Chain A
Amino acid sequence: MTDADFLMWVRGPAFNVATVILCAGIVIRILEIFLMGRKPNLAEARGSEMVGGLSTMLHRSLPDAGTFKRSSLTVISGWVFHLGLFVVIFLFVPHILVFEQALGFGWPGLPSNIVDAIAVITIIALLVKLIHRLRDPVLRMLSEFSDYLSWFVTILPVVTGWLAFHRLGAPPPALIAVHILSVELLMVLFPFTKLSHAFTLWIARWYNGAISGYRGVRS
């Protein structure tokens, strides 16, 4: 198989399979949650579940001042790599073209040199996350194989994308193919690792806020 054949394969059949697994996996994970159901609350409500739920969905992204002080490394590195991933995935012009092909519409991107710098910052933030996980006693105790696997499949597309952008280490078609393949690996594992929190956390936050909101208090 030539580099070009390989590229065709990852852009065609492999991508289609990864997309199906990603979508089906997310549906399964969300169904696994909602099919569990919840008993109706017979206590007289003091406040609104909906208001509490929506409020927590929004507010929980920012910690209170005391928590920020105590967990500043976790919060800052988390914000940096999440925002970094958002920029490199959704605001890099070649990516927007791919989305445009799939969705039928696009949006303005950022200049490549800015995305390049943000990719480096994202890689650094993810490395900080790994070192933190390996060194902090609480994180070390909580961590399982899947935590490291999730980290690996998250950083891999950023690194391969950065290498492809700079044409480092291999001919461009091979670099692009490896980059797309690393994205497909992420897509396949996404629903079945903690990466699925990107979808489920909105449900978790809603329940948390709704439980408190019902009692008339914000969480």
Chain B
Amino acid sequence: MSGPSFQRGYNALKEEIDAPVAAFFSSCVHCGMCAEACLFFTETGDPKYTPIHKLDPLRKVWKQEYTFWGKLAKSLGISKPLTDQDLTDWETLVYDSCTMCGRCSMVCPVGNDLAYMIRKLREGMAVSGHAPPGLVGATRRAINIGSPMGVKLPALQAQIRSVEADTGLKVPLDVENVDYLLLLSSMEIMNFPEFIGAVAKIFDKAGVSWTISSEAFEATNSGIQIGVSDIAAELVQRIVDAAEKLKVKNVISPECGHAYMAIRWEGPNLVGKAFKFKVIHILELLDELRSQGRLKLKDKVESKLTYHDPCQIGRRGGVMEQPRHLLRELARDFVEMPEAGQMNWCCGAGGGVSSNERADDLRLIAFQRKKSQLDQIKVDGLVSACSNCRIHIEDGLEHYHMDLPVLSLTETLAEHLAD
């Protein structure tokens, strides 16, 4: 495969432009409302973080390649073409200050889905050599080792042994013909192994047949974050192969935002064929078990809880009501943050921002938006369903000297499971 080059990037951008992109750029009236929807703008006040501005390289390609006047101007040599320097200048805007949370896509009065376009712009940025080193490293590890954090099978096996010792339950590995194949994010394996124990407990009580694959346990997909569809497809294909080999009926996406986007919505399109199995988010499955009476709780959480919607699970993924059903059953005092649900504010670290060390300071500045949401409701605990959100929110809370436990919904449910 040839190395990164501007021409490859330019060609990738040309290929990415489709009818929705053309409709979006044709409709932009430069009203600037998307700025106020972006936490990187609201928390810094810097106009350069205006979402539509971040898309300028893609807009230039659309204009000069696919519009009558743009093509005319190009042929007459009077337009300013996209340059490699433009891509260099835009790198931090496209990767460091955008989590692809899609809040701007909800606000644009003409209906532009800006996050959809950022995802496409990253395809050109990455193959032209303008992706951040942190994400390049994570992607390389995902391809070579199988995990962006470098987690190998022995590490997972060690955590499984530890969970089995703690819970007294068997964590099935490579079992064929079960109903569910559970995927895990590296962060769950390394930072929150309690999640595996929680799933084991819940599934044991609910009588769910499941397994983990030793060949494809990693749910995260650096390919969709950095914007290289070939790599993203290879990572999805590993899961497809494992699911088909084990002959499972469903694949469970764990508590990780972009992993759900990668396997549920992008997955079949990346590998070019519909899946033979269903993809279900862990929250969807837990809510199904709840509605079937298979998720019985012994008591409720007494403290005041709120829920942080991970963008790729909620607004971009469509799993919005299920966590609320579960939380109303679990917590005596569940309150929503202002602008929760579809209009929720991102934690500031999704879309690969957390893998990009260069953006560490900026993501903590952006976290002030979440802080102000939390300041308004004064809760005793925050529940979420994404390890990446959890890690960053914990980091942000510590940075701003806020004492608030950040909980996993699955783990909290397991703690209150009836014996």
Binding site for B on A (CB under 8 A): 28-29, 32-39, 41-44, 46-47, 56-57, 60-61, 63-64, 66-67, 70-71, 74-75, 78, 136-144, 147, 192, 194, 196-197, 200-201, 203-209, 211-212, 215-219
Q: Is the CB of B17 within 8 A of A36?
A: yes
A61 to B105, CA, bound (A): 14
Candidates A33, A216, A218; contact of B26 at CB < 8 Å: A33
Q: Is the CB of A42 within 8 A of B19?
A: no
Residues of B close to A139: CB separation below 8 A? 30-32
Considering the complex, give the chain B residue whose CB is closest to the CB of A66: B339
Q: At the interface with chain A, which of B65-73, B130-138, B217-225, B353-361?
A: B65-73
A197 to B109, CA, bound (A): 11
Q: Is the CB of A29 within 8 A of B26?
A: yes
- B29 contacts A by Cβ under 8 Å: yes
Q: Is the CB of B318 within 8 A of A46?
A: yes
Q: Is the CB of A204 within 8 A of B23?
A: yes
Q: At the interface with chain A, which of B240-248, B270-278, B390-398?
A: B270-278
Within 8 A of A (CB), among B310-329: 314-318, 320
A35 to B17, CA, bound (A): 11
- B48 contacts A by Cβ under 8 Å: yes
Residues of A close to B27: CB separation below 8 A? 197, 200-201, 203-204
Within 8 A of A (CB), among B269-328: 269, 272-275, 278-279, 314-318, 320
Candidates B29, B109, B273, B342; contact of A63 at CB < 8 Å: B109
Candidates A28, A207, A208; contact of B68 at CB < 8 Å: A28
Candidates B19, B109, B264; contact of A207 at CB < 8 Å: B19
Contact residues on B (Cβ < 8 Å of other chain), bracket? 35 or more
Q: Is the CB of A39 within 8 A of B269?
A: yes
Residues of B close to A216: CB separation below 8 A? 318
A151 to B56, CA, bound (A): 22
Contact (A142, B32) CB under 8 Å given A43-B265, A200-B23? yes
Q: At the interface with chain A, which of B33-41, B82-90, B139-147, B205-213?
A: B33-41
Residues of B close to A29: CB separation below 8 A? 26
Q: Is the CB of B53 within 8 A of A38?
A: no
Q: Is the CB of B111 within 8 A of A67?
A: no
Binding site for A on B (CB under 8 A): 17-24, 26-33, 35-37, 41-42, 47-48, 50, 52-53, 66-69, 105-113, 116, 264-269, 272-275, 278-279, 314-318, 320, 338-339, 342-343
Considering the complex, give the chain B residue whose CB is closest to the CB of A67: B107
Q: Is the CB of B109 within 8 A of A194?
A: no
Residues of B close to A205: CB separation below 8 A? 110-111
Counting chain A CB atoms within 10 Å of each CB, the highest count among B28, B314, B320 belongs to B28
A168 to B316, CA, bound (A): 55
Candidates A43, A64, A196, A211; contact of B20 at CB < 8 Å: A211
User: Chain A nearest CB: distance from B162 CB in Å?
Assistant: 35
Residues of B close to A46: CB separation below 8 A? 318
Residues of B close to A71: CB separation below 8 A? 32-33, 36, 107
Residues of A close to B21: CB separation below 8 A? 36
Q: Is the CB of B50 within 8 A of A204?
A: no
Residues of B close to A204: CB separation below 8 A? 20, 23-24, 26-27, 110-112
Q: Is the CB of A43 within 8 A of B113?
A: no
Residues of A close to B32: CB separation below 8 A? 71, 74, 136, 138-139, 142
User: Chain B nearest CB: distance from A34 CB in Å?
Assistant: 6
User: Chain A nearest CB: distance from B243 CB in Å?
Assistant: 14
Q: Is the CB of A44 within 8 A of B275?
A: yes
Q: Is the CB of B318 within 8 A of A217?
A: yes
User: Chain A nearest CB: distance from B339 CB in Å?
Assistant: 5
Q: Is the CB of B113 within 8 A of A218?
A: no
Contact (A142, B53) CB under 8 Å given A74-B33, A208-B113? yes
Contact (A66, B26) CB under 8 Å given A208-B105, A217-B320? no
What are 22 A-B interface contacts by the 8 Å CB criterion? Answer: A35-B19, A36-B17, A37-B18, A42-B269, A42-B272, A44-B268, A46-B318, A60-B109, A64-B339, A138-B32, A138-B35, A139-B32, A141-B50, A142-B53, A197-B29, A201-B27, A205-B111, A208-B105, A211-B116, A219-B105, A219-B113, A219-B342
Residues of B close to A196: CB separation below 8 A? 26
Contact (A215, B265) CB under 8 Å given A74-B32, A78-B31, A197-B110? yes
Considering the complex, give the chain A residue whose CB is closest to the CB of B284: A46
Q: Is the CB of A56 within 8 A of B20?
A: no
Residues of A close to B272: CB separation below 8 A? 42
Q: Is the CB of B116 within 8 A of A38?
A: no
Contact (A32, B30) CB under 8 Å given A42-B272, A138-B50, A206-B111? no
Known A34-B19, A67-B36; 13 more pairs at CB < 8 Å = A43-B264, A43-B274, A56-B111, A63-B33, A64-B106, A66-B339, A66-B343, A138-B35, A143-B30, A197-B26, A204-B27, A215-B318, A217-B316
Q: Is the CB of B106 within 8 A of A219?
A: yes
A215 to B312, CA, bound (A): 11
Q: Is the CB of B105 within 8 A of A36?
A: no
Q: Is the CB of B273 within 8 A of A42?
A: yes
User: Chain B nearest CB: distance from A199 CB in Å?
Assistant: 9
Candidates A33, A42, A56, A194; contact of B22 at CB < 8 Å: A33
A35 to B320, CA, bound (A): 35
Contact (A43, B315) CB under 8 Å given A63-B109, A194-B30, A207-B24? no
Residues of B close to A211: CB separation below 8 A? 20, 113, 116
A66 to B274, CA, bound (A): 39
Counting chain A CB atoms within 10 Å of each CB, the highest count among B29, B36, B320 belongs to B29
User: Chain B nearest CB: distance from A117 CB in Å?
Assistant: 26
